[in-house]
Amino acid sequence: MGWIKRNLFIVVGGLATLALLGAGGFYIYKGLSRNSDAAAKLEEIYQQLNSIHQQQPSPGNEKVDNIQAARDQDKQLREWIAGAGKYFQNIPAIPPSGVTSETFAGSLRRTIDVLQHEADDAGVTLPPKCDFSFSAERPLVRFAEGSLEPLSAQLGEVKTIAETVFSARVNVLDGIQRVRVSADDAVGSQADYIDAHPVTNDLAVITPYVVTFRCFTPELARVVGAFATSSNTFLIKSINIQPATSAAAAVGATPDMPGVMMPGRYGGEAGGIPQPAAAPGQPVAGKGGLQTVLKEQLLRISLEVGLVKLLPKS
């Protein structure tokens, strides 16, 4: 004890030195632990970066910047979407807004009258008393509850479809069929409707229509082209083609029915029907001119189209 008292400063200094050495050792241990964890994280990040660089496609290198290329492609895609938007224009309803029973009844009669005059101007024959699938609604002044909005939308769409067919100058428009959207449709002519329903997906609603007309092949090509280039997106789902005379016979039509027996496109027998053969032994009178190798025949077309209407952006 006497030695400690004599060397008190030395003893205290030694103890302090030991404490500092212990604290330094602990600090070094903690530093080594942190360095080890940091090294492990750095190795993990390096492995992820190496994996990304080995992917196909990779972010690129000093010569190829795939990230910038992806940004440029994203810009091009957005520009294409903006440009394609003009082909997805909605068809305005008739009337366009504030529809009531009175406004719709008046608009319906005016629209049917306009379409009949447009068909006459285009040289398109219509069935007698053609109401363009609205025979149930045309005489009404009051309509079923909740049906005015869908009926006004359909009226605008039917008008657009009819005018598209008129623009091709077909011979006869037999009719347009639509889906039932009103309780009033239950008492209408069943020939005005199709047993189908609109289809909805994540992007749009596709509403089916069927338009039936008679024409020759050039007019059919113009009808398909008119639907394809329309500012409203029409999808042609099916085309049913048969000779107009065969279709008339299938429904029991007679030659005196209006619009059934149409003359050949370039003259000659009606609708491609062969004339009676000459009696055996009787000479056939020559017609002169070039021999007819192929004569076009009047066709009856049933075209099913789907109108695409984009859903509102949420």
DSSP per-residue string spanning 226-256: HHHT-SS-EEEEEEEEEEHHHHHHHTT--TT
The answer to pTM > 0.75 is: no
Structure tokens at 241: 């083609």
When comparing pLDDT for 232 and 115, which is higher? 115
User: Given this structure, which CATH class describes domain 88-256+297-310?
Assistant: alpha beta
Higher pLDDT, 52 or 311: 311
User: What type of residue sits at position 153?
Assistant: A
pLDDT at 212 over 70: yes
Contact in structure between 99 and 93 (CB atoms under 8 Å): yes
Per the CB < 8 A criterion, the answer to whether 89 and 232 are in contact is yes
The 10 Å Cβ neighbour count of residue 217 is 13
Q: What is the chain's mean pLDDT, rounded?
A: 79
pLDDT in tens, 129-174: 899 999 999 999 899 888 999 999 999 999 999 999 999 999 999 9
Where would I find the H helices in the chain?
2-6, 8-54, 66-84, 101-122, 148-167, 217-228, 244-250
Only one residue has tokens 């810009």, namely 75
265: confidence class by pLDDT, cuts 50, 70, 90: very low
**Residue 107, amino acid:** S
pLDDT tens-digit readout, 71-96: 888 888 888 777 776 767 788 999 98
The H or E element spanning position 300 is strand 299-310
Q: pLDDT tens, 21-77? A: 777 776 777 777 777 777 888 888 878 777 766 666 665 666 667 777 888 888 888
